[in-house]
A and B are shown apart, each in its own frame.
Chain A
Amino acid sequence: MKELSLNILDIVQNSIRAEAAEISIMINESLSGDLYQIIIKDNGRGIPDEILRNVTDPFVTTRTKRRMGLGLSLLKYHAELTGGAMEIISNVGKGTEVIVNFSFSHIDRQPLGDIAGILVILMASNQDINFIYTHKTEYGEYRFSSEETKEYLEVAALNEMNLLEEIGWMIGENLKEIKVSGFELRERNRVIL
């Protein structure tokens, strides 16, 4: 994984499998504090203590089709490369919070990448989940909620691709406004028929 947004997409899959109805992704950037923090929080099933103890071990997984789970261990590895760390707080029946800290200035901190595209994919294929994205930099803060967007637009679902693409662009413009580090908004594949 060469972008943190792909790691985020990976960890959010855990929340979706845990049947979360609300998934929050929070990113805090502090150049003065040399901190780049990602917090992924859900209200899913939670992780039992016996699994939580070793959940970042790549050979610990709740999956049945294979015996490895790389998502958390990879993200932890990327954080530790920069002198950072990962903490996981979880309560069965309440949810899970994954907190990952990176050194902002470390050369091995990967760029964020196309987080707007990630949010579009998540919304498109998980209509029943409220995704809340918050990004804070020293230039400001931006917050997005898929449920609030649906309510404002008076739609039952965000399933029209044209609309989802415009939502992606809206998120991108706002992230550029607060000078988000390492953000990339890729041009969509345009095939003119």
Chain B
Amino acid sequence: MLKLKLNLTNKRMSKITSLADLKKRREELKSGLDIRVKAIDPESVVQVKVAMATCGIASGAKTVMEFFLEQLERRNVAAVVTQTGCMGYCYAEPTIEVKLPGQDPVVFGFVDLKRADQIIEKYIKTGELVDGIIPVNYQTIDLKE
């Protein structure tokens, strides 16, 4: 594990400027890392959708998306990260929708990198809810029977 970490931190010593360099680096990566088999059925893995409309982008959705793309793979979580359009919660951007296998999706708002880290470590890995959930199924007491 320590050797693997050293390999990762040293990997950017040589520049990559062409597709040929990229192909060579890919061969190096394949030999140093486990080959991850990508799940064919998205319903069987964690699905993370990052809202990427104007309000989201202006609020930092790009950084959040980069974080999930990178960290879910690094933390060995089988997941699909995609972008989606406006979910309508412009006041709470960046927003993400997380769907764990077999469960209803949950929308989180005001997602910064710290909250994104908590969502991965607590909600995605253990099912423990964290702050910032937008209650999309909320009903006021007046509407409840």
Q: Which residues of A contact B (CB under 8 A)?
A: 1, 6, 9-10, 13, 17, 63, 65-66, 69-71, 74, 114, 117-118, 120-121, 124-126, 148-149, 152-153, 157, 159-167, 169-170, 173-174, 177, 188-189, 191-193
Contact = CB atoms under 8 A, between A and B. Distances in A.
A168 to B, nearest CB: 10
Given A9-B62, A165-B70, A125 B54 contact: no
A124 B23 contact: no
Interface stretch (B11-19, B101-109, B126-134): B11-19
Given A121-B69, A188-B66, A189-B113, A74 B54 contact: yes
Contact of A153 (B26, B38, B69): B26
Contact of B19 (A1, A153, A159, A191): A153
A6 B69 contact: no
Contact of B22 (A153, A161, A192): A153
Nearest to A17: B85
A71 to B, nearest CB: 5
A65 B29 contact: no
Contacts, number: 110
B81 interface: yes
B83 to A, nearest CB: 5
A153 to B, nearest CB: 6
Contact of A170 (B21, B38, B62, B74): B21
B22 to A, nearest CB: 6
Query: Interface residues of B: mostly helix, strand, loop or mixed?
Result: helix
Contacts of B66: 117, 120-121, 188-189
B74 A66 contact: no
Nearest to B9: A192
Interface string B55-91: 1011000100111011101110000011101111010
B36 interface: yes
A160 B36 contact: yes
Interface in B1-50: 5, 9, 12, 15-19, 21-23, 25-26, 29, 33, 36, 38
Contacts of A170: 16-19, 21-22
A118 B23 contact: no
B38 A159 contact: yes
Given A13-B53, A152-B23, A66 B17 contact: no
